[in-house]
Structure 1
Amino acid sequence: MIDRVTEADPYPLKFPVVALVASAGGLDALTEVLAPLPADLPAAVIVSQHVSPDRATLLAEILRERTALRVHAADDGDELAPGTVLVVPAARHLIVTSATRIGLLDTGALPPARPSADLLLATLAVTCGTRVLAVVLTGRGADAQAGVRAVVHCGGTVFAQDEVTSAYFGMPGAAIDTGLVRDVLGLPDIATAIHAHAHAHH
């Protein structure tokens, strides 16, 4: 008789990772979500907001002043770390590689939206699986809808901002339309839900 071998954990990342994706109206929403989170949050955070590639963005600098978490613009090859927010820079797409390191890709002409929430979430899903929490915030369009499907397919969790508190309901509405969103939350409730999720899954 052959002994059954316990299946090894297939994911190199051993802590949760939260992806906050947004477009129009995103700065205020990101601020409200990140501001209450503690410096010792046991999860890594990636922030992706659609930004025109011909405009410099100060998003990382702005968010750094508004949260206790460590915040910096993502760089190619960065590692994910608990208590750290990596912000996707303007005119780049961000993917998560098989070694759970950041990969930055140059973007082409509009469309599509950039940085792509779908690319971020799909690569995060296949590399981090059950450890992923995707949070779809205010924004126009339907970017993140395919990414939401990928996250749930790989065992992760999705929250979406509700219509009442969204400046623009395109992105969260498209996510909700998949039928795969775990919780639809008002903006003031999202930070608490992220904190609870991170502590339950670390």
Structure 2
Amino acid sequence: MIKSSKIVVMGGSWGGLQASLSVLKELPATYPIPIVLVLHRLRNFEGSLPELYDSKTLLKAVEVDEKEEALPGHVYLAPSNYHVLLEKDQTFSLDDSELENYSRPAIDVTFTSAADVYGSNTIGILLSGASRDGSAGLKYISDRGGTVVVQDPAEAELDTMPLAAIDQVPDGEIMNLEQIQAYLLSLT
């Protein structure tokens, strides 16, 4: 497959699972941009997130694996207890270093590494959540000319994460889940 010149990085915490499913459910299996999803979850959680996303979306859902290439038509899920980074060759690396924002995986880590690789072709989306994780990463994306989208805090199950993002990047796009989905569909 041809490597994508763009990347969508999406993060969330409390309420982020349902929000991300709502956003991703209508994207076609041939979606031209890889999507990386970082959700806060218990560190030793051995769940079946790929199966859940496979059953609810048309995208191929996989848990990130070391040195795997970021390909279109996929949603890459951050594994429990690992930070996910993107490398210059558009592959993933997993890191088990210290917690950031009390989390591993941390959204900021993925957002920052994506912006380092994809620059202005990075699309960062922050959903519902109970911490400030992701807001610094969105600012980093914005500072490199990328696109920043924040779930409307009025719609979020928990508004802490979206409000922190708006505080960090006041000129970011604020959208409800339906608008985020429409925006992503418009990129096809």
The TM-score with structure 2 as length reference comes to: 0.93
Alignment equivalent of 1:65, drawn from 55, 60, 67: 55
After superposition, the CA RMSD in angstroms is 1.8
CA contact (8 A) 1:151 1:158 kept: yes
Paired residues, number = 187
Rg comparison, structure with higher value: 1
**Equivalents in 2 of 1:25, 1:112: separation in Å?**
17
Partner residue of 1:87? 77
- Residue 114 in structure 1 maps to residue 104 in structure 2: yes
Residue 129 (structure 1) aligned to one of 97, 109, 119: 119
Quote the offset at 1:119 in angstroms. 0.5
**Is residue 91–residue 107 contact of structure 1 (8 Å, CA) maintained in 2?**
no
Displacement of 1:154 in angstroms is 1.4
What does 1:33-44 correspond to in 2, within 5 Å? 33-44=23-34
Instruction: Find 1:194's aligned residue among 177, 184, 187.
Output: 184
Q: State the distance in 1 between where 2:62 and 2:10 align.
A: 15
The letter for the 1-side match of 2:35 is: V
| Counterpart position of 1:49 | 39
Identity %: 27
**Cα distance in 2 for residues equivalent to 1:109 and 1:128:** 24
Which letter does structure 2 place at the counterpart of 1:18? Answer: V
One-letter amino acid of the structure 2 residue matched with residue 128 of structure 1: Y
> Structure 1 residue aligned with 2:18, among 6, 9, 28?
28
CA distance in 2, matches of 1:151, 1:109: 21
Structure 1 pair 39/141, CA: closer, same or farther in 2 (3 Å)? same
Question: Is 1:175 matched with 2:175?
Answer: no
Give the Cα–Cα distance (whole angstroms) in 1 for the partners of residues 111 and 170 of structure 2: 14
TM-score (normalizing by structure 1): 0.87
Rounded to whole Å, the distance in 1 between the matches of 2:100 and 2:12 is: 17
Deviation at 1:43, TM superposition (A): 0.6
Q: Which runs of 5+ in 1 are unaligned?
A: 1-12
CA distance in 2, matches of 1:122, 1:194: 20
Question: Runs of at least 4 residues of structure 1 off by over 6 A?
Answer: none
> Gaps (5+ residues) in structure 2?
none
Contact 2:5 2:118 (C-alpha < 8 Å) held by counterparts: no
In the alignment, does 2:141 pair up with 1:147? no
User: Deviation at 1:182?
Assistant: 2.9
